Amino acid sequence: MKIVRRYATLLLLSALLIAIYSVYSQDASGYFSGEQALERIAEHLEFGPRTTGSAESIRAGDAMIEYLQDLGWETTEDWHTLDFDNGPLLVPARNIIANYGSGPTVILGGHYDTRVYADQDPDPEKRKERAPGANDGGSTVGVLMELARVISENYLPNNEIRLIFFDAEDNPNIPPWRISIGADLYVDNLNLEEEDIRYGIMIDMVGDQNQIIPVEGYSLKAAPELTAGLWTLAEELGYGEQFNPDGNEELIARYSITDDHLSFQRVGIPAVLLIDFDYPYWHTTQDTLDKLSADSLERVGRLLEAYLEQDGAITRK
């Protein structure tokens, strides 16, 4: 009888431990859904290429604002008129800002516009067509929109979480355009004496099926602590194969990329870029939804979610 009771007790304890482990594992894994991020991208792509100033860009931006407001985020439209060298071309551009919570600010951002020409297309006949921008622009939208849902439904903000969707980023080397116009305009209009911005994390082209997001050079140089924190956490989450593919014990940059994070760095705000630049469909007509992976989006989203929680910017409800 004693043996039976001991056995029953052991079974009960085992079941209890399994239940606790299951709950803990589910809780620790994060709330971010790569599938839902992919759905947001699909909806975004339905508007067509979002070249700056186009009707497609306006409609896509309006839909983003409506979605964020429905989640309880406070949104702001940061409009600018781009006047290239006082020429005949006047182009409206709109950064979209969403805020949640109060206190010192953490910025998560990236661009939502698409390139005016698919000038890297392997088919010369298609190089004057517009790029769909599923990964290059779309993946930023998918990750940040899903992160907005995750935060509003599952977390209490201890800081102001600020999501910024930049316009007019994606046209370098196409005169009269240059890179990161929207980010530069946003940063130039910040009142740094009144703003308490802790850091910024920019994301770009993060949805590739063969995802590799190594350390980026300008991030490591200007924001070493932030960079180390993100890549160390990625390892802890089991994402080392994607974030540290070379297996380096110390952080070593694989490349340096000019992107929106430099706009913040030049005014002294620590900013890091997460980017998978080894993407064969970059600036082509083939940058379509079928090239993306929900798993890749989820890794990036859960890393951001976990970092914000570890950093104390958000607390689980």
pLDDT at 86: 62
Average pLDDT over residues 282-298: 98
pLDDT for 170 beyond 60: yes
Retrieve residue 199's tokens. 């850091």
pLDDT for 261 beyond 70: yes
pLDDT for 182 beyond 90: yes
pLDDT for 14 beyond 90: no
pLDDT for 191 beyond 70: yes
CA 276 to chain centre: 12
Beta carbons within 10 angstroms of residue 32's beta carbon: 24
Average pLDDT over residues 141-152: 98
* Single-letter residue type at 299: R
Q: How long is the chain?
A: 317
pLDDT for 278 beyond 70: yes
Alpha-carbon distance values, 97 to 147, 156, 309 (Å): 14, 19, 21
Closest CA to 43 of 120, 138, 125: 138
Closest CA to 38 of 303, 299, 307, 305: 299
pLDDT at 80: 95
pLDDT tens digit sequence for 25-48:
334 468 999 999 999 999 999 999
The β-bridge partners of 57 are none
pLDDT: which is higher, 6 or 95 = 95
What pLDDT band is residue 56 in, cutting at 50, 70 and 90?
very high
pLDDT for 20 beyond 70: no
pLDDT at 246: 86
pLDDT at 117: 94
pLDDT: which is higher, 177 or 86 = 177
pLDDT at 9: 45
pLDDT for 16 beyond 80: no
HEC letters along the chain: CHHHHHHHHHHHHHHHHHHHHHHHHHHHCCCCCHHHHHHHHHHHHCCCCCCCCCHHHHHHHHHHHHHHHHCCCEEEEEEEEEEHHHCCCEEEEEEEEEEECCCCEEEEEEECCCCCCCCCCCCHHHCCCCCCCCCCCHHHHHHHHHHHHHHHHHEEECCEEEEEEECCCCCCCCCCCCCCHHHHHHHHCCCCCCCCEEEEEEEECCCECCCCCCCEHHHHHHCHHHHHHHHHHHHHCCCHHHHCCCCCCCCCCCECCCCCHHHHHCCCCCEEEEECCCCCCCCCCCCCHHHECHHHHHHHHHHHHHHHHHHCCEEEC
pLDDT at 29: 62
pLDDT tens digit sequence for 64-105:
999 999 999 999 999 999 987 766 578 999 999 999 999 999
CA 22 to chain centre: 29
The rounded mean pLDDT for the chain is 91
Average pLDDT over residues 1-16: 44
What pLDDT band is residue 248 in, cutting at 50, 70 and 90?
confident
Average pLDDT over residues 174-192: 94
